[in-house]
Amino acid sequence: MHQHNIAATTVENYKKLHDAGIGTYILFQETYHKKSYEALHPTGPKHNYAYHTEAMDRAMEGGIDDVGLGVLFGLELYRYELAGLLMHAEHLEAVHGVGPHTISVPRIQPADDIDPEDFDNGIDDDTFAKLIAIIRIAVPYTGMIISTRESAEVRKKALRLGISQISGGSRTSVGGYVEEEKVEENSAQFDVSDRRTLDEVVRWLMELGYIPSFCTACYREGRTGDRFMALCKSGQIQNCCHPNALMTLEEYLVDYASPETRAIGEKVIAEQLNNIPKEKVRQIAEKYIEEIKNNGKRDFRF
Ligand code: SF4
């Protein structure tokens, strides 16, 4: 997965990152509430609220057209943060013609190094679920990301409500929509709640009826920014996502999965191939999957 978290910077630096092939640029807004933001960063490089909040505009000016938003729920009142987040998405679409590629939903956990006396707006699981559902409806084209800081139970519910991307495990390094948890700047203090391996998470997703996908085809095909958004909003992207999911899942099964996960996965793939509506696409996908399984071929994509 080509996603990167890098602090707010200049248009020139964003250009460099774009030229280096950064992929999706993710930057969280800790809070959209200016006063609270400034209280959180009384000094230091992150002090300037406007500079931080306008980072995505500079990133897009610099040519990065896939950006990921997120607000840390719990610092300020969640209604304010939700409105800020949705307005941010609306703003990017209005000004740059491309809304957020992803939205992440981090929330403050008891382990966080933040004084609860100062910021006591933590949200419960039900409110969290509601927020996910609202973001899903309000920004239907965006990918939604939940981290391993949430428990398996919370993640299960969140998947039903619209989360499309989860991270899992820390043992196997593969790119994709089910992704190894990245080590972040301050991850030492992060309390990971879902400690299952990637293999366990992949199996669990299939048992819940989902197709785990490791697809990164759009980025590699240059389907980014407004090109991607058009395909996504019309729903046509599904014709790529579905067969790509099956092919990348097959790669995962062959290269990394435990025998048990592989057995379940092969069954899912066989069933799902029948659900590809276009005869021709189905035949090609079947052929590619055979090539992956039997001839060691990799990296097919629609
Ligand atoms: S084809 Fe679908 S799953 Fe693959 S990168 Fe594009 S949007 Fe994501």
| Total count of domains within the chain | 2
Q: Are residues 249 and 168 in the same domain?
A: no
Distance 216 CA to ligand 1 centre (A): 6
Q: Are residues 161 and 53 in the same domain?
A: yes
Which atom of ligand 1 lies closest to the CA of 223?
6
Q: Are residues 44 and 158 in the same domain?
A: yes
Distance 196 CA to ligand 1 centre (A): 25
Distance 17 CA to ligand 1 centre (A): 22
Q: Are residues 19 and 75 in the same domain?
A: yes
**Residue 243: which domain range?**
238-295
pLDDT for the residue 2? 57
> Which protein residue has the closest C-alpha to ligand 1 atom 2?
241
pLDDT for the residue 161? 97
Distance 215 CA to ligand 1 centre (A): 6
pLDDT for the residue 112? 66
Q: Are residues 33 and 100 in the same domain?
A: yes
> Which protein residue has the closest C-alpha to ligand 1 atom 3?
241
Please list the rounded mean pLDDT of every run of 10 residues in the chain (302 residues).
76 96 92 95 93 97 96 95 98 97 90 64 94 98 93 95 82 42 43 85 96 93 91 93 97 97 98 96 98 96 95
Distance 46 CA to ligand 1 centre (A): 33
pLDDT for the residue 167? 76
Q: Among all chains, which residue has been given the structure tokens 């991307």?
A: 165
Query: Which of the listed residues 144, 166, 215 should we mutate to test ligand 1's pocket, taking the one with most ligand atoms within 8 A of CB?
Result: 215
Q: Are residues 244 and 125 in the same domain?
A: no
pLDDT for the residue 115? 63
Domain's final residue, options 141, 164, 196: 196
Domain's final residue, options 141, 163, 196: 196
In a domain, 243, yes or no: yes
In a domain, 302, yes or no: no
Pocket of ligand 1 (CB under 6 A): 213, 215-218, 237, 240-241, 244
Q: Are residues 23 and 152 in the same domain?
A: yes
Q: Are residues 161 and 84 in the same domain?
A: yes
In a domain, 22, yes or no: yes
In a domain, 212, yes or no: no
In a domain, 284, yes or no: yes
Q: Are residues 91 and 178 in the same domain?
A: yes
List the CATH number of the domain containing 47: 3.20.20.70
